[in-house]
Every structure is written in structure tokens, then in C-alpha cells.
Structure 1
Amino acid sequence: MSTLLSDWTPDWAFLSPSFPSPPPASTAATTGPPPTTSHPQSQSTPLAHMLTLPPEILTQITLDACLSLPTGPPSSARALCLTCRAFNRVLSHRNNAPLYAAVFSGQFDTAAPRRRARALAREGGEADLDLFRPERVVSELRHRWTSLTRMRLSTFSHTLPPTPELEEDLWTSLLLLLEDDGQNLLQLRAYAKLDEYMQLFWRECLLGPSMADPPQLPEETVARALGLWVLWHTSEERVLEHESPLTQHAALFALRPYAFAAHKYDIFAAPWYEHVLPLLPPTSTSPNPLLEEEAPPPAPRTQIKYFGSLLSIEPPPAGLAAIMLFSLRTSFRSAHPLSSPLAGTASAALAMPLAPVAQPMHHTAPPTAANTAHGQQLLSIVRPPFAHELAEGRGSEAWDGDWRRMTRCWDLVRGRGLEVGETDVGGVWEGKFTFFDFDSYRDMLTGSARSVYEGAFAEQPQVWRLTARRARIADSLRRQILAERRERGAGEGEMTGMASVVEDEWGWGEEELVLDGSGHSAWGEFNLVGSVRTWDGLVSLRKEYTPAARGTWLYRGYLVGDDYLVGRWRDTFTEKTQDGYEGIFALARRS
């Protein structure tokens, strides 16, 4: 029996390809007295009766036993496989994959992966229509329970696994959350102890590095990015409301670099100033063969196990999740003076500088009819939504857009990306923008990590009203993009061959989503104009106050859960390729 148990963890012993052979008989046993023959009636045992059952009945009994408990691995199948070789032959995963496919459907949500695979197939993508072939489902079942069991054991030992296993566990957790329709989250929390696991991750991977002496900006790793997203997806109001002031303060302290250090933690799938992507037009499927070896298609940054194959996927940016966590947590800090870096100081009412130059921050404009909601009362900051609120009534469908961006937008040279109209930002949005003390921001750009942790910040509410329409990409913009691509192809080694591929004829899509609208904040009223980059759904808007005394600002961000617009704003004085003065914003769609 030990040979069987040594191949897998105890919960996975039933997946061994064969039942162990009995040990060889010893010489002493052959020379001893003959074994006593049992009475024929003694063979009439429950096990003997079960051995006479048809395989279909035995399979159904095993399935019912595996699903009798709402959470945890199918250990009942393991117990039956260990009973005898006859059961093992009927119930092993190699001989009865449909059994474990049924177990998978009973333990995990399957609507999201089926829906997303069908959608990709309809759009002409490389969808694997055999995603739920029983053999592949068995592989995914084994993969999930291996990760969830490892997470559970980590909470008992209070030790995170090594980096490869940690990344695997966090990928598994995030995908389960993106596919959750009720069952996935139950397995994560009840069996894998996800909340305890993420507290351990928070202390070791996020809070610990922020306490370094001297202060440093933590390295952005795949594990930290995934962990921040899992933390946001599992945040709950009842927890944040009852956190101690010290816990709130420490959380905001650890999140500050990811939220405010825009030069260090990028949130964009591709440079925000690239208006059209991919860099090579989709029609250029046959580049110059002489240059093909010099400029091969880029390999996926990340490939993860997914239903028995490797899925090419782009890890979501740490900065975007940190902005959502930071914006959410600052909504609860007012009850805890310690957690508010501006509380009790003259900086409490400071506002953003009008231009990125060395000057003191200005006080918030007084309430007037121009800067209040409908001219009746001062705007109040609306609390950003929790992930479960975005998914309420929609389940996993709320995250289909995020899934498409992660799986389609990793190859900015030739990647297919999204389609026109997949990003819907029309409607009324309300939320806040957050800004950092300008002098501290300038010190941060010159290398002072301490200023990130100690600089003051403040928030202002705002409301947007946006309309979206399809429009033909202007000829002037097309000529400009073609000229820039040819110039880059001649000057950048990584883009060698672009000049020979990009011809004078336009090879990208004909239309784009154009945005225009208006809004108001505590500073007054403003106009909005911009567009949506089709390839990855990046929303770019120019915000100009009327009158223009409050300046012009550039907003860039993504939709999260279809109803949450999150990103960074920056000044319009700094060259686009240089580090400018930036802050963060978070807006929820008004229902």
C-alpha cells in the first residue's frame, strides 16, 4: 500500500494509475501450515455484494459519496479505490474519467469556462471545443485540489510555499474567483482557508517589504500582482468596518507605493499613448521572410495549466488592483484618525496643484452652484464598489471582460486583442480622484522612496456623464500612426522589420469608439473628450475645466467588472514618454 500513497498526497491517492500488487509470499509462509478455509457463508459480506454490482451502479454510489459533503476533495473515491483491485479497476481516473468529470461539475462552477470557450469559438479564435473532455477535466480536478490542499496546509503551518507553488496557488485562486457562481468561493473559503491564506500572504509578501529600513519600493512580481487581485476580490465591508486603526493604517501604508508610484508600477497592457494596436496591422500576416528570424512573434509572458493544457495569459497589473484596494480602504479610514495621513493637519483640505511646477497645494474651492451636485448640496465621495457588489445578480458574467483582456492582450506586436464595442463606458459615473502632495511626488521621482510612504494625499468627489459612439478613424490620425510606426521600425531593434511591413495603406480596423461628455467636481464643471483603444479597452479622456482656471488633465483607465472604471490621471504638460505628475481615480457606474 505504501507504493500507492507515496505517489500522491493522501487526498489524491485514488488517482494512482494502478492498484498496488500484494507483497511476495515468503518462504516461511509456504512451509507453514495450510491456511484455514473459511465457511462458504462467511463470504457473504457487504463488500462481496458490492463486487457483484454493475460498474454503472458502483460509479453512481461513488459519485453520491463524493458529493455528500459540500466542500473538500473527493476522498470517498480514494477510500473505495484502496478497498481492492476490483474497485480500483472500475473507479480509477484512467478507467472512469466520466466519474471525475461529474465530480468536478458538482464541486466547481462550470458555466464561465464553457461560456468563454463558446464565445471565443464564435469569434473565430483558437478555442478548444474539447475543454470539457473527461480526461481534461480530470487533469483540472487534480490540479485544483492539489493547489487548494497546499493552501490549506500552509494556513496550518503558517508558512507560504516556495515562489513557483505560491504563484500556482494564486493563479488557481484568481481563476476560481473569475469563474465563481457560488460554488468556487465556497471551496476556496471553507476548505482552502483562503482568507487565512491571504492574511499570511499579506504579512509576508506585502506588509513585510513595506517595513524595510531604509524604505524601498517593493519589486513588482507575478505573485504580488495576483495576490493584490485576490485580496480585492475577497474584500468585504463587514471586515473593513471592524478593523483596528493600526490595521487600517498599516494596510494603506503598504498599498501606497503601488497606488502612487506610477513610474514604477505600470497599469497598462501596452503603452497608453499607442492609439492603435497591435503594432503590426492584422493584415500583415506574412512579414519579410528575411527578417522573420530577427523579429519572431513574442512568446507569451505566462502560461498556466488549465484543463490539461497550457493557457497563454497576461498577469493583471498589481497597480490596478492596488488602486482599487486603496480607494476602497480610504472610504473607511475616516472613522480611524490614525489611518488618515491628512487628519488633524493643515493638509486636510489641500487640493491638487494647477500645473506640475514647484508651488504650494491649493485649498479646495468653496461650495457654489457650479461645483455642487445639481446646485443643491456639496458633492460627497461615493464609496467604491466591492467585487461581490459588481457581480451581484450577474455572477461570473461580470468578469468576462477582464478574462478577455487577460487572455487576448499579451502580444502587443501581433495579438488579436478585443473588438470595437466590447468596452461600454456610456452612462453616468460617480466616484473620486486622489492626488499626492506635489513636492513629495517630485522627491519620489528623484529616488526618494521615503516620500512615497510619508507624503500627504487627499481626495475629491466627481461625477461624469459620458456618451459613446462609433466613428471612422480620421485620415490625419491614420497618417500620423503610419509615420510613427515606420520611424519606430527603423530605430528600435525589437521592432526591426516594421518599416518593411507597414505600408502606406491602413491595415487596422476602420472604426473606434469615441467618447464625449461632461461632469462636475468640487472644483467646478468640466468637459470630457476621448476614445477607447479597441485592442485592450483602454479608456483615455481629456478633462478640461470650464473656465480653464483649474487646468486640463488626462485620464486613462480600464473597466473592471463592466461597471467600475479605474486608472490614473496625469498632467498634460509633461511629454508622454516621460514621467509626469500622476494620481489615481475610481468611478462606479450609477445604476
Structure 2
Amino acid sequence: MADSAPSTPSSDTSSNNRRKTSLEFIITRPTSQSGSSSTSTPTMIRDGIAPVFHPAPAPSTPTPKPQTTSLASSSSAPKGKKTLESLPRELLALVAFHLVVDDQGYGSHPCSLLPFLHTSRTIHEAISFDNNPQLYHRLFQATFDYAALDRRYNWMVQHLSTQAGKGKKLFNLFADPRSWAIDYRSRWESCMRMRKVAEYKKVEIPGVCDKATFIADLWNVWFLLTEDDGKNLRFLNGRCHLKEFLGTYYKDNLLKESLVPGYPRETGDKSLAIWCSLFAGIDTIGEDNAAEVDEKIFMLRPYVFACAKYDVTYAPWHHRKLPLCAPDCTDHEPDLTLRSKAMTYKRFGYSWKRVPPHFILGVYVGFMRLLERHSDRVGLKAGSSTFSSTPFEAGLPGLFSAIQTMESPLHDREWQRNTMCQDPHTSQGLPPLTYRGQIQGYWRGKFLFYDFDLYRQILAGDMRGVYTGTFAEQVAEMELKETMVKVREEDVGGKGPLLCAGFQEEGGETDEEQERIQAGYGNELCDDADEVEKGWTKEILISGRVMRGRVRSWDGLVILDLHYSRHVMGRWLWRGYLHTGGYMVGRWRDCFTPENLRGYEGAFGLIRAGDTLYPDHFPKKMEDSLGVNQPTPAAATASTSSQNANGTGGGGGGGGGTGRAQVTLPDVAALDQRGSSSPSPGVNASAARTATAATQ
């Protein structure tokens, strides 16, 4: 007979019974002396949340009359003989510590403390949560990783001390052991709820977990993963059943919402869930069979291809300088297009606000990984390009296939961005050179697109095309170089058009333009250690063959202008963020549509060679690449997408160390069919392609 599914706990369970399944019951002082008497035999369950008590068997001989003195009374022990409770408070705490922590220094479940807590009232008072938070502070450090907490607090002190208020000290949260003790308790309570969610396969369980506490648990998981140096992931996988917990959310929330009419919502809990699954290496949830894979692709499609419905930036990309308000601003006229995405959560006994990482960018990474695992289940258009490879590389994992958990230092920049970029009106943003050294190098990746006619139908409201339309993917490789310059604060973002990444409109495809960027583009070159005068700041410029760009310092938004010809339809604008592990993820856009209108857009993802998630069997520099396999003429005819710009040859060396790019882009001919006149009279799409070929 098959085992029946566990029943959901009743919502009318008494408060006393609920307290006995929480850590609060374990470490709270008893309300009466009878609570400390030993009338039952505890059975320790280390993998559970609380110990279970079974009544002791009746004695075979008459029970002697109880002593009139309390167990906690010092007169109950013979004179001259020391008892356990007579030990100093520090030694009792040390005994309690080693009951929970093993010989290797790893903390286990705190239920091991329960017999010791109930030995006597004196011991209970010495090691209880209220009276000895220092003990639970030490247990926190033995059970969880905390190096990232110290490192990030020091970063806050260094970068926010000048903003804290004219020399005032920042609040030192971690100086109080009670803060650590509170978070220690909350993590084990979260563990209990996560196990119940995994067991009952429901997000909302009466008396145990509701939507608010589930989101709080997701925040706990995100922090544990981004602060992980070994202990946290062990706790999540071994104690909290993380994969089953996130799998329940996927089936009970994401899949169900995909069946509701209209576009699905973008929410903070979805963002936390997708990034937690990526960081933990368990984004394969919901792929047990072909039917589940099809459901997952169907669920992700609107987030990937309905670009007009979802944002991917912390502030609109056409704002060059942020924040919009002065540092001492207290009252301003809000721009309704700039929405704060900060969420409130509790940690270390206090309420905080933070912007979760972008859900859509996490979906882009997950979708590209999904395409590589199940390419046979995806309807790709003929004409998609691939990287050239040798016969020895056949069958090796794809570019986005790496699964590797990362230690906490690699998550620091993302944590800094989520902390400093909450509100485009007032948040001060990141230091100017936060992403110094993170862009230079050789990048490989791919981008996705619908043909323009189908994309135009989607913009007009045709949702069917989002779910059923076939799309193409093209591969890209590029070599980028960074240049640091000093600029006036009012000149941040450049003086040129936004669709040219702030550079002058002409000359983007020439070698002279690359040399000019590397010389500072009219600005003074600088380095990390160089100080800047008041009214000045630093900026990162980017150069590479047929491309140029810059980094928006406020949130680290990378803007690249791919310039294949002098015609506007030979240019494409890529905007994206650097993410943990070496990813650059974002959207490409046409430059024909004005920046204040919705343009022709699609997703892209790149990985830098040498970073954590870049597979070892791929080339590490452009000179080692075999180039790109372009679609055959027959395939290109069958596809509504074709090549409008060719990079240089696949295997040759780059010119002058400026780097080069090899990218196949969607056909620009469709853009010329909008009924609008070309910016350059007499230059049509065919002429643009001719000009493109002439520049190579």
C-alpha cells in the first residue's frame, strides 16, 4: 500500500503545542518550578526541529516520597562535594557550547541543549537565551559563516561614514551579542518552516507558514547563500531541504501563475527564488521529464521575450547621472517612472530595506542554461549561429553549463549594489570604480531574438506570439578594454547621444575612435589611487573593435555601442549588468528607435574567460578562438533573420591590442519597413550592409 501524503497541521492547534515545536520553547526560562522537574524521558532528534518527549514508564517499586528541597537548592548536595550547578557561569556556558559543537568545530541542532537546560533551575538561568546571549553568539559563529558579515560591515564603515551625518559614528550592529543570538534563533525557526514546506508541498501552511513568512525565509536563504563559505550551504542542504523547498515554490507559485490570463507579475519573491536556485546550483528544478521541461519553457517565455513589460535596470538606462536629488534632499518632486524596488525584511533583530537582484536577469541566465540542457525541446529558428569547434570538443558541456557554488567574496559587489541603489531619487549609488577590472578581457555568449514582424505584433498586444513564436539565437565573442578617466560631475555619461553611449555619433567603427577612447577621449587618464578634486569624479570607458561603451557608476550598468556602419541601422546598443561568477546579462536594442520609445529588443548573456563560471574547455582569448559558424545560405533563406554585420575572421589576431568583436545580429532590413524615412536620405538597408562590409 502506498504511503499516504502527510496531512496539513490544523490551524486551531493550541499555542502551547506550537511553542513546543520552536526554538523559543527550548531556550526560554520556565514559568514555574514544575517545568524543570524530570517527569519524562527526552528522545533527541537531531534532524528535527524540537525534541519529542515520551512519558516515562511506571516504576515497578513504590516511588519514594519526594524531597521537600528543590533540585536547584544547594543544600540538596552533601556538604563539601561540588555539583555541576556550582560551576561558574562561564564554565556552564562552555559545557553547553560543546554539547552543540562537534570536535571539528561545526555546530549542530540546538536541541542538544535541552537535557542540560532542564537539569536544574540554576543551570537554566545560567545558559538561557535571555541571560546568556554570548553563548548563542558563539553558537552562531560555529554553525554559520560570518566572515562576509564582518567584511561587508567594514565596507559600509569605509564608504558610508561620510554620509552618516557630519562625522557621526555608524551604528555597530554586531557589537551586541544579543543581535547575533536573535538571528541564530530566527535561522533555526526558518529551518523548521522550510522543512514543513518541503514536507507538505505547500507554500502556505496554517499555523506554520504564510506568504509573509515564506518571503522572510527566502531572504534568509539568499543571505545564507551570498555569505556562504562552506557552513551555510551545508546547513541549507542538510537541515533545511533547500531543493525541495524551492521546488515547492516553483510548482505552487510560478507554474500556477503561468496559467492565469495576462502577463505574469514580476515580484521580489520570484527574484530571490530564481537567484537562490542559481547560486545553489539547483536551477534544474522542474526538469524530471520532457513534459515538465515543456512546462518550464512555457512559464519562462514571457519573462524572456516580452521585453516591453519588464524592466531590467535599477533606474532607466537613459538617465546618465544619478541620483536625481542632492544628498541632503528631504522633499522632491517624484518621477513616477523611477520606482523604488526596495523590500523590507528583518535581520539581527531589526527591520531593513534592500533591493533584490533583478528577477528578469536571473531568468535570462536560467533560460540560456535551459536551452543548452534541452535544445531538442526548444523551437529554434533555422539560421542560428554557433561557435566553431574541433572534433575533440564534440559533446562537451555548453558555455552556460557550469554548476559551481561560489564563496562569499564573489557576491560582495552584488550585495553592495543592492544596498546602495535602492532609490534613483536619493540613494547615493556605488563608488565610481566598483567594477574596475571586471570588464577587461575576452567574452563569449549569445543573444536571443524574434524576427521584427513578430516582435512588432507582440508590442501591439499579441500574447500568443510570446508563448508560441519561434526564435533564433546567435553567438557572440568580443574582447574589451577598460580606460579610467577623470571627468567633471556634470559630464558623467558623456556629451554625445544616448544611443551612442554618450560618444560622438560619427566614427564609432574606426580604429582611430578606439585609440581616442584609450587615450581618455579628451579627459585625463587616472588610476584607482588618484585623488579627485571637488566637483570631479572618475568614470570607466570601454573600447573594442567596432564597439565602444562606458559604465554608469551609480549602479554599474554597462552600455556598449556596437557600431558596424555609419548608418543608424548598422548600430546596436547593449545594456547589462555584471553578475556573480563572470556573467554580463542584459538586453540589446536597435538604435533606430528614439530612446524614449520602446525599441526592438532582446536578451543577451556573456561570460568572461577565466571567471568562475567560464568552462575550462573554451578558449581563453580571442587569438585561440576558431570563430563563429554562420548559417548556410539555405538556412538563412528559411529564417527571417540574417546576418547584417560580420566581424573579422574567426582565427586571426586582433589589431593593435584594441580587441575585436564577432557578432551576428538580426536583420536591419525589417527596421526600414516601419514607414519612417531613413536618417540618411538615400541610404537603405542594402546600402547599410554594403557600408558594413566596407568597414570590415
TM over 0.5: yes
**Cα distance in 2 between the residues matched to 1:274 and 1:382:** 36
Counterpart residue number, 1:92: 128
Match of 1:457 in 2: 471
Q: Which moved more, 1:257-266 or 1:171-180?
A: 257-266
Does residue 566 (structure 1) correspond to residue 580 (structure 2)? The answer is no
Deviation at 1:72, TM superposition (A): 5.4
In the TM superposition, residue 401 of structure 1 has moved relative to its aligned partner by 0.6
The TM-score with structure 2 as length reference comes to 0.66
Question: In structure 2, how many angstroms separate the alpha carbons of the residues matched to 1:42 and 1:252?
Answer: 71
Q: Is this contact kept in 2: 1:528–1:543, CA < 8 A?
A: yes
1:383 to 380, 399, 407: 399
Find the aligned partners of 1:405 and 1:571 in 2 and give their Cα distance: 27
1:4·1:20 contact (CA, 8 Å) conserved in 2?
no
How far off its partner does 1:90 sit? 0.6
C-alpha deviations, 1:464-517, integer Å up to 9, x for none?
Answer: 111111224479956998xx9xxxxxxxxxxxxxxxxxxxxx996533111111
Match of 1:262 among 307, 315, 318: 307
Q: Give the structure 2 partner of residue 139 of structure 1.
A: 182
Q: Deviations over 1:257-299 (max 9, x none)?
A: 11222222211000011111111244xx267xxxx38779998
> 1:438 pairs with 433, 452, 460, which one?
452
Cα distance change, pair 279–327 in 1 and its aligned pair in 2 (3 A):
same
Unaligned runs of 5+ in 1: 25-33, 351-363, 485-505, 519-526
Q: What's the secondary structure of 1:112's corresponding residue?
A: helix
Q: What are the within-5 Å matches in structure 2 for residues 27-38 of structure 1?
A: 35=65
Q: Work out whether residues 271 and 356 of structure 2, in 8 Å CA contact, stay in contact via their aligned partners in 1.
A: yes
Q: 1:318 aligns with which of 356, 359, 365?
A: 359
Please tell me the residue identity of whatever aligns with 1:15: I
Partner Cα separation in structure 1 for residue 567 and residue 290 of structure 2? 40
Task: Give the letter for the 1:160 counterpart.
Answer: V
**Matched pairs, number:** 508
| Structure with more contact order per residue of length (Cα contacts < 8 Å, sep ≥ 6) | 1
**Is the 8 Å Cα contact of residues 382 and 430 (structure 1) preserved in structure 2?**
no
Please tell me whether residue 329 in structure 1 is matched to residue 348 in structure 2. no
Residue number among 19, 29, 50 corresponding to 2:30 in the alignment: 19
Matched, 1:399 2:411: yes
C-alpha displacement of 1:587:
0.9
Equivalence map 1:232-311=2 (5 Å): 232-236=278-282, 243-282=288-327, 285=328, 292=331, 301-311=342-352
Alignment map for 1:374-523 (pairs within 5 Å): 382-384=398-400, 386=402, 388=404, 391=406, 395-423=407-435, 424-473=438-487, 477=491, 509-518=536-545
Cα drift, residue 242 of structure 1: 8.0
- TM-superposed CA distance for 1:156, in Å, is 1.2
TM value normalised by structure 1? 0.77
8 Å Cα contact 1:241/1:332 also seen in 2? no
2:640 match: none
Match of 1:9 among 18, 21, 24: 21
Which residue identity lines up with residue 378 of structure 2 in the other structure? S
Decide which structure has the larger Cα Rg and report it: 2
Query: Which consecutive residues of structure 2, in runs of 5 or more, have no partner in the other structure?
Result: 1-13, 36-63, 165-169, 205-209, 499-532, 611-696
Over 3 Å counting, the alpha-carbon distance change for 1:551 and 1:308 in structure 2 is: same
Whole-angstrom CA distance in 2 between matches of 1:112 and 1:579:
40
Secondary structure in 1 matching 2:404: helix
Name the one with the larger helix percent: 1
**Residue pair 2:334, 2:425 contacting (<8 A) in 1 also:** no
| Aligned with 1:60 (options 84, 87, 94) | 94
| Structure-2 change in CA distance of 1:422 and 1:66 (3 Å) | same
Deviations 1:355-379 (A, max 9, x none): xxxxxxxxx6xx9xxx9799xx99x
Alignment counterpart, residue 154 of structure 1, candidates 197, 212, 215 = 197
Equivalent residue of 1:349, what SS? coil
The alpha-carbon distance between structure 1 residues 12 and 388, as it changes in their structure 2 partners (threshold 3 A), is: farther
Q: Distance in 2 between matches of 1:536 and 1:387?
A: 27
- Please point out which of 574, 582, 585 is paired with 2:601: 582
Alpha-carbon distance in structure 2 between the residues aligned to 1:233 and 1:163: 23
Residues 520-546 of structure 1 deviation map (CA, whole Å, 9 limit, x = unaligned): xxxxxxx11110000000000011236
Query: Is the CA contact 2:308–2:598 (under 8 Å) kept in the aligned structure 1?
Result: yes
Determine helix, strand or coil for the equivalent of 1:19. coil
Quick check: 321-330 or 224-233, which moved more?
224-233
1:575 partner SS: coil
Q: Secondary structure at the match of 1:543?
A: strand
Counterpart position of 1:502: none
- C-alpha spacing 1:151/1:476, structure 2 compared with 1 (3 Å): closer
449-458 or 228-237, which deviates more:
228-237
Change in 2 beyond 3 A, CA 1:6/1:587: closer
Q: Partners of 1:329 and 1:469 in 2: how far apart?
A: 35
Percent identity of the aligned residues?
30
Q: 1:52 to 1:23 in 2, by over 3 A?
A: closer
1:110 aligned onto 2:146: yes
The range that moved more, 549-558 or 104-113, is 549-558
